[in-house]
Amino acid sequence: MFNVDLLIIGGGLVGASLATAVRSHPLAKDLRILLVDPSPPSTQSWPPTSLRTSTISPSSKMFLDDIGVWDRIPVDRIAVFDRMFVWDHPYPLPATPSNTEVSKAPAGTIVFDANDIEQDHLGYVLDNDTLRNAMFRRIGDIVGGGSQGLQVIQGSVKTIKFVDDESESHVPEEEDSAPWPVVELESGETIQCRLIAACDGSRSRVRTICGADWFQYGYGQNAVVANVELKDIITTAYQRFVPTGPVAVLPVSTEDTLAPVGNVIWTTTPAEARALMAADETDFINELNIVLAAHEDEDQVFASSFYPPESDQNPALWRLVAKGLQVVLPKSAAENKVLNFIPPPEATRVIGKRGQFPLTLGHSPQYVLRKKRTVLVGDAAHSVHPLAGQGVNLGFADAQSLADCIASAAGTGRDLGGENGAPLMRYQSERITSNLGMIGVLHGLQRVFGVQNPTFRDFRRVGISALNFANPLKKIILRAMR
């Protein structure tokens, strides 16, 4: 039987970063830590087997830097993006409009630019395999460097025995603390631990075993994910909202292909997702190019930000709204911004396989399960829609906050997971507030963009165009995502 202070269950991006963060903290150097996961990091360099990429915010990058992971990522696999184009457009695409007098970006477009916040980049894009590999290399270096305090084993959790499940008490050390749980792996191996960090993803087995509350909402959408070759290199993250859901293309960096590469995250109905998975490569690429093209003809920029071409049903209303906006919004800003819209380059080929993931919103009202000596982290505590690429960034912020609490508790000789959860309550209060805020925003966006009533859609597009010129508001949004 293993006997440890901290058992991290799940060595995905969040669990592996938590192990590294705790071990890197000087106050936690005496803790015995064990990380358990069924799968070792992928050894295949290209194309990545996980298919998934993550946009990494500058603050997550800083965290990965601090824990010694960032400099273990091969430089040629780090893509940066300095702009984000988000646009709302009906599908099938409209014909060329006649009215081009006001601007040259599609209505309902918002452009986020690193220059808006005086930065070089808005964020980074990495495939999950490369990032997880870098984390395990860092862990390997720690273990190989003679640290007795961190071990990694391959395995999958089967059950957990809590002492209140039976009369036998495992470690009756502190009077006001729950006894230590005993975790059993599928292999039959057992681990007794002071604290369990459940990092086993959105379908967390640990959370289920603990009987923790979990609010869940199914979006009725799947994300189809693929890497594709592009005609041109991109340093922009694209996201287009069509009635079936957002379709995103992120830059991917690799020296393994001569052509530029993008990662596609195509959110859609389960039925269309099945069709996209079954489609042959040519059909998939054709569909992708149609769904991403800003326009049907070669002149990719068109239309008025203020007179959406398909709003013929209420031109009087549009003229009124447009007049109002033209008074309120400075024309010079409009001219500068709209010319910045550059549509995504054509995709030419799929690289490797396609994959699909069902999308759900999930949240646990308690991250610290006081009587179970267990804490929920990352997707085990909250899972969000990928439309703004925030999931793992929230998870890294969890790992950072929890590592800090664990280190403070260890440094002052407190019982991690004991004292009725008191040493970890700062983690819970810090992270629940922040995660719920982001969940609210993402869910709100998903709902707002899901409405297809034509009048509402027209208003939505005017609202987005207006937001595009409201620089202070854009700065607030960008800062919140950092």
- What does the binding site for ligand FAD look like in residue numbers (CB under 6 A)? 9-15, 36-39, 52, 54-55, 156-157, 199-201, 205, 223, 225, 265, 357, 378-379, 386, 389-393, 395
CB of 118 to ligand FAD, least distance (A): 23
| Nearer Cβ to ligand FAD (135/407) | 135
CB of 98 to ligand FAD, least distance (A): 38
| Nearer Cβ to ligand FAD (11/149) | 11
Residue nearest to ligand FAD (CB): 12
CB of 329 to ligand FAD, least distance (A): 31
| Nearer Cβ to ligand FAD (113/379) | 379
CB of 47 to ligand FAD, least distance (A): 16
CB of 261 to ligand FAD, least distance (A): 15
> Which residues, 6+ apart, have CB-to-CB distance to 245 below 8 Å?
221, 266, 267, 268, 269, 450
| Nearer Cβ to ligand FAD (37/404) | 37
| Nearer Cβ to ligand FAD (191/462) | 191
| Nearer Cβ to ligand FAD (66/310) | 66
| Nearer Cβ to ligand FAD (385/461) | 385
CB of 437 to ligand FAD, least distance (A): 16
CB of 154 to ligand FAD, least distance (A): 9
